[in-house]
């Protein structure tokens, strides 16, 4: 029995078992990491051969035949002896490729495979996240357009304020997400390759390999960079590419986390008011003790993961700050955690947010009822203006409204009754000249300004061009959420 349950006897990250997509998990897997190391050794050999070093096609073919079949047990045994992960994999790869053994890792330092692999993974991870983010933006834009003119209470200080619309509020979430898309796209587009730089970034070992021919060393750097799928490399590095790169990317991801947390907090507040709900499955249980509960668990999950994501920015900043001179190794263990968890957390947030955005439920009657409790107070200035137009004295009218408002407020606060200010106005003979106008004066749509037009303009001018930029890459289908 113990043998059957062995997989449950060690720590397993919830990001893998519960939250993140299989595709994002694979990017940060050992299989992907170490097979990418081998691909980089092959690219290096091909470029060195093209520039005149004594490397044969047979050696390259031998390495290409063993890119994926990594002996992890043998590598672990080697690392236990050498205490060096890269050399452990060099030795294992060399045993699988005896013909190529003399030229594997030729002239390179550990960061040739370590850092360049990280940059390849960061690029792929950003390429996975961006279409999911734009998928959320696209889905929310449909929601915003659908409810662009549905009035709802606006809130400042979490107190009822001037009316807005459900769609306009959604457009505020989208605007933040657009800023995140821009930041992450800039990170991806600005990302460069480390290339072949040697132990302290001087390329001294490669200069020796090419007998002092600096032009060939530069060509080697350019060729490997192109073969790896990058257009540019960092012109100067220490032993590593600057950890400022990691900080920029993790900061952009943390900023996305803040956006997600803000939006999902809003959803939770609105769910509490029963105005709007996230999807709730037919067999879903909200509470083990309270069968009636419809807890916003998806939004809560997003907030929880986003909070973790936000904290990772400080880790990346501290890692950059403590890189002494050309490099220290105390970045290694931290980056193994920070980079993977930042992307896996962001991926999980977007997967959940896409699911939420495709199934948001609006309750117009509840919204209407909530408006009815507050709108009479908000409409008092309109009532005064109508009375003035009908020949009334503004100061007299103001005092009449003040008294009636306080009486209605007492009914709400002291007796728990509905707001009856409108009924009090109708019953007061003073307001007889405008009784016929009260319905139009109290129409919620007259209190939302240009909200509906703003949504249309925003979607047309700012959202649609970004969605079009990604074309058919946009992720629009919500995957089945894990537990």
Give the distance, in angstroms, between the CA of residue 304 and the centroid of all CA atoms in the same chain.
13
- Tokens describing residue 101: 């053994």
- The CB-side HSE value for 116 (13 A sphere, CA atoms) comes to 33
Residues 6+ apart with CB under 8 A from 32: 26, 121
| 29 catalytic residue (yes or no) | no
- C-alpha closest to that of 405 among 385, 379, 430: 379
CA neighbor of 91 nearest in space, from 34, 45, 148? 34
Other Cβ atoms closer than 10 A to 394: 11
Of the candidates 287, 332, 406, 440, the residue annotated as catalytic is 287
Say if residues 227 and 43 touch (Cβ distance below 8 Å). Answer: yes
Beta strands 361-362; 159-165: pairing state: unpaired
Task: Tell me the residue ranges of DSSP E strands in 254-400.
Answer: 276-277, 361-362
Question: Residues 6, 105, 110, 157: which is the catalytic one?
Answer: 157
**C-alpha closest to that of 375 among 152, 48, 47:** 152
Provide the greatest CA pair distance for the chain.
Answer: 104
Whether 287 is catalytic is yes
At 397, phi and psi to the nearest 5?
Answer: -65, -40
Active site positions, annotated: 157, 287
């Amino acid at each position: 029995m113990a043998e059957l349950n062995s997989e449950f006897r060690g720590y397993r990250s919830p990001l893998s078992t519960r939250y993140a997509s299989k595709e994002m998990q694979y990017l940060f897997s050992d299989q992907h990491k170490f097979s990418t190391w081998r691909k980089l050794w092959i690219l290096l050999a091909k470029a060195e051969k093209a520039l005149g070093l004594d490397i044969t096609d047979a050696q390259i073919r031998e390495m290409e035949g063993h890119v994926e079949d990594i002996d992890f047990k043998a590598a672990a045994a080697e690392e236990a002896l050498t205490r060096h992960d890269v050399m452990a994999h060099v030795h294992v790869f060399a045993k699988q490729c005896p013909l190529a053994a003399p030229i594997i890792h030729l002239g390179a330092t550990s960061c040739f495979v370590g850092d360049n692999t990280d940059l390849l993974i960061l690029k792929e991870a950003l390429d996975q996240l961006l279409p999911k983010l734009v998928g959320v933006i696209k889905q929310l834009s449909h929601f915003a357009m659908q409810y662009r003119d549905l009035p709802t209470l606006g809130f400042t200080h979490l107190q009822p304020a001037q009316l807005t619309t459900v769609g306009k509020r959604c457009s505020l979430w989208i605007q933040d997400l657009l800023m995140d898309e821009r930041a992450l796209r800039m990170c991806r587009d600005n990302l460069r390759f480390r290339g072949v730089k040697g132990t302290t970034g001087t390329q001294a070992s490669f200069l020796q390999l090419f007998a002092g021919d600096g032009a060939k060393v530069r060509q080697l750097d350019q060729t490997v960079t192109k073969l790896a799928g990058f257009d540019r490399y960092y012109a100067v590095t220490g032993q590593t590419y600057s950890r400022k790169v990691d900080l920029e990317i993790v900061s952009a991801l943390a900023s996305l986390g803040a956006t997600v947390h803000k939006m999902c907090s809003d959803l939770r507040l609105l769910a509490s008011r029963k105005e709007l709900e996230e999807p709730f499955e037919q067999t879903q249980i909200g509470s083990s003790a309270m069968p009636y509960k419809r807890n916003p668990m998806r939004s809560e999950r997003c907030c929880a993961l986003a909070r973790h994501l936000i904290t990772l920015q400080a880790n990346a900043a501290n890692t950059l700050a403590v890189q002494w001179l050309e490099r220290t190794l105390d970045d290694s263990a931290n980056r193994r955690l920070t980079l993977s968890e930042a992307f896996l957390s962001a991926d999980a947030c977007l997967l959940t947010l896409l699911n939420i955005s495709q199934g948001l439920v609006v309750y117009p009657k509840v919204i209407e009822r909530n408006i009815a409790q507050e709108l009479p107070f908000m409409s008092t200035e309109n009532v005064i203006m109508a009375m003035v137009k009908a020949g009334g004295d503004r100061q007299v009218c103001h005092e009449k409204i003040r008294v009636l408002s306080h009486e209605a407020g007492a009914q709400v606060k002291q007796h728990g009754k509905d707001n009856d200010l409108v009924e009090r106005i109708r019953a007061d003979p003073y307001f007889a000249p405008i009784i016929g106008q009260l319905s139009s004066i109290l129409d919620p749509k007259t209190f939302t300004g240009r909200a509906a037009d703003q949504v249309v303009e925003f979607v047309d001018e700012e959202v649609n061009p970004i969605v079009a930029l990604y074309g058919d890459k946009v992720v629009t289908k919500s995957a089945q959420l894990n537990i």
